[in-house]
Structure 1
């Protein structure tokens, strides 16, 4: 049952409204002035407020302001016998959803209330989804590896800047998750966040998707269309798969990044925007620049803050954390609790190559939770491709007397640095690790940079 708070200094008016609305199965609370309205609001948390404009002790405008500060999504309808356009506009500016003038028709009031309650439900849903998105999608970065911790530091440093960010990494490594974290940690997090998959939109449609068009711009343009950049004004645009843009669109995107303005297709009006751009790709943009399939000037415009996400096989210490995260998530979805994975099965996951990275791991865990019978996932539950993973040609035999891993790792790092003439990037490639990991392990072993 929906709860409505009726605020009016006229007792007869409150009685008449209460009698009419109770027939509609609403629960009615009453207050005689703005001060009482605030007290009742805090006690009852109504779904809607009907509030008179002119009242003793505290008028409706002041009470409206205070109530909106406490709970922005509660719809408020102002009732006034002094219904001028100025007072209505002022109430709307302060957050009122609608207004109705005395004397009013009861049926008209019922319709206005029904519409306001629907808007209130939608506002609550949007508020809830935004909170869930911020809590779950925006900031779910799982990992204790040195590489992930370094990425988190970068995200924290750049989030509240307007710097363009370029996220690089193989498919499935979590580039969109990092983009989400940047936006939702920034001061733009209440503004639009518009995502565009540049590889999923046909070449002949990408310009109209990004910049929009005017009515009559081409056959089929029967009305003006607002593009993604215009929709994102004040917020963030995430351009996923940026490497898929053709050269003609690269030129137009470069202009937007340089001048922060554009025209809709078929229009002459210059549209100024305030948009933060985050781009991502699984392609080697620098190599594409050398091959002249990606503009060098655009590359440097995008590459202000580069974030390189290593593949999962290069940060195996994160696999158990990710496994447990996905186990808990999908266990809740199917209504099963305390699903665990055996040590032997976990070791198989650690040894697997994970060509599809985190996305592949998530799919595997979801499949095992859905198809599994008991609360323990064992080796027998693992997919065929993991069980049949061939041993690497670089497998080493452990000596009978054992070995000191710390000494071996330090020695191999020194050998790689010497062979690469102390070029850290080349040494990291020889050791099949990222440069960040190499620097972390050099510091761990006390190996000085040259």
Structure 2
């Protein structure tokens, strides 16, 4: 049985439970992560693409009302309303689990669980998650069609946007070059939305995230019986994009033997699944992207020269964020407006001092790093003052040599209390603790 491409998050304070659930679910899903502290769950969801959460209902010894689970489920749903949450509970808490279903949980599992039931519940949640994402995309399609606009104050980027405007209505192959995080996906989507294919599928295939032994099956599909786990016919990602746009990201990762097959497909517009001789006519537009130097890869015989010339009919070199400083304020304001709305903090603003901090940082992770920086800052700020969590400050914290957990806990509590001038509620919120939990720790450390 081939694993489903999905990322499952399990949250439970019992390490044995985490281990058992992860071992079982890893048989069916490509990625399974575990957290023993619920306070870390929101940050984890922000930083990863999660398809389903399995959440315990009790996290404190002696407090087994299940309210902890309902609280964290509500926090997750506030952050990601469409993300399915499966509650885990003991037999005696079934009524509370049913209350959880009424409040938005997709299902609940009784401990000790039946493995088949756990798999079935998570699998259904993953399918539900994907259905919700597709519905959300279709709801937004009319807003994007015919008005997909990108802005820039940078002369370099203005030239690129004009170039994209010219090439979008054609079917020319486009190669987007640039560092990670420079916006290659956004530009690829912009090309699609400004083309005659805008109402057809736009499929992003990240070749860097597909294991090498699955490349051919994922891209080209296979016939039933073609190999051991091929229990049914499977149309690959490229075939499923018929009439639309295929965005092959990290094209430099494609193995040489598949480069030959891709070259043939681009030239002849015909596709054969693994295990069959039948050729299927293909009508798609290709966009490619990489952060690798393909000319160097060609010289080192890691990338076919004929494929390189075939994919770069139009080549677009995207500048790093440090090379387009004129856009830092524009982008930061855009991200701030998005996350103010998402996290219900309408009063947050960028001061001149904060803008200066943003401009003085080199942004090695480019726009993606700026995006994550603004989102983290909004999440961890109070409702009135934006506390900018700059990467260089996080690096300074990471150089602390004393790794004693209790000592670090005391330092963080002192910082939070100082930052909020002794306001317990704000300090607790910043630390991801309840007021009662913060009081207990203050008493413990004599603060």
- TM range, smaller chain: 0.5 to 0.7
Q: Does the C-alpha gap of structure 1 residues 385 and 279 become closer, same or farther in structure 2, counting only changes over 3 Å?
A: same
- Deviation at 1:204? 1.3
Secondary structure of the structure 1 residue equivalent to 2:231: coil
Match of 1:197 in 2: 206
Q: Which of residues 151, 154, 165 is equivalent to 1:156? A: 165
Q: Which of residues 252, 265, 284 is equivalent to 2:261? A: 252
Matches within 5 A, 1:81-100: none
Deviations 1:230-263 (A, max 9, x none): 1111111110010001111111101011111121
In the alignment, structure 2 segments of 5+ residues that lack a partner are: 1-129, 397-447
Secondary structure of the structure 2 residue equivalent to 1:280: strand
Secondary structure of the structure 2 residue equivalent to 1:150: helix
Q: Which of residues 277, 282, 286 is equivalent to 2:286? A: 277
Q: Does the C-alpha gap of structure 1 residues 384 and 264 become closer, same or farther in structure 2, counting only changes over 3 Å?
A: closer
Q: Does the C-alpha gap of structure 1 residues 203 and 354 become closer, same or farther in structure 2, counting only changes over 3 Å?
A: same
Match of 2:389 in 1: 382
Q: Does the C-alpha gap of structure 1 residues 320 and 271 become closer, same or farther in structure 2, counting only changes over 3 Å?
A: same
Could you tell me whether the CA contact under 8 Å between 1:139 and 1:180 is conserved in 2?
A: no
CA RMSD of aligned residues (A): 2.5
Larger radius of gyration: 1
Deviations 1:409-441 (A, max 9, x none): xxxxxxxxxxxxxxxxxxxxxxxxxxxxxxxxx
In the alignment, structure 1 segments of 5+ residues that lack a partner are: 1-121, 390-450
- Deviation at 1:131? 4.9
- Of residues 137-146 and 175-184 in structure 1, the stretch that sits farther from structure 2 once superposed is 137-146
- Does 2:271 align with 1:262? yes
Could you tell me whether the CA contact under 8 Å between 1:208 and 1:227 is conserved in 2?
A: yes
Could you tell me whether the CA contact under 8 Å between 1:166 and 1:304 is conserved in 2?
A: yes
Match of 1:240 in 2: 249
Q: Which of residues 124, 130, 140 is equivalent to 1:132? A: 140
Q: Does the C-alpha gap of structure 1 residues 212 and 294 become closer, same or farther in structure 2, counting only changes over 3 Å?
A: same
Deviations 1:39-89 (A, max 9, x none): xxxxxxxxxxxxxxxxxxxxxxxxxxxxxxxxxxxxxxxxxxxxxxxxxxx
Could you tell me whether the CA contact under 8 Å between 2:347 and 2:383 is conserved in 1?
A: no
Query: How many residues are matched?
Result: 266
Q: Which of residues 212, 220, 224 is equivalent to 2:229? A: 220
Secondary structure of the structure 2 residue equivalent to 1:237: strand
Match of 2:43 in 1: none
Secondary structure of the structure 2 residue equivalent to 1:377: coil
Matches within 5 A, 1:46-445: 129-133=137-141, 135=143, 139=148, 141-377=150-386, 381-383=388-390, 385=392
Distance 1:182 1:131 in 2: 20
Could you tell me whether the CA contact under 8 Å between 2:373 and 2:391 is conserved in 1?
A: no
Q: Does the C-alpha gap of structure 1 residues 129 and 153 become closer, same or farther in structure 2, counting only changes over 3 Å?
A: same
- Of residues 268-277 and 338-347 in structure 1, the stretch that sits farther from structure 2 once superposed is 338-347
Distance 2:283 2:164 in 1: 20
Secondary structure of the structure 2 residue equivalent to 1:196: strand
Distance 1:384 1:255 in 2: 45
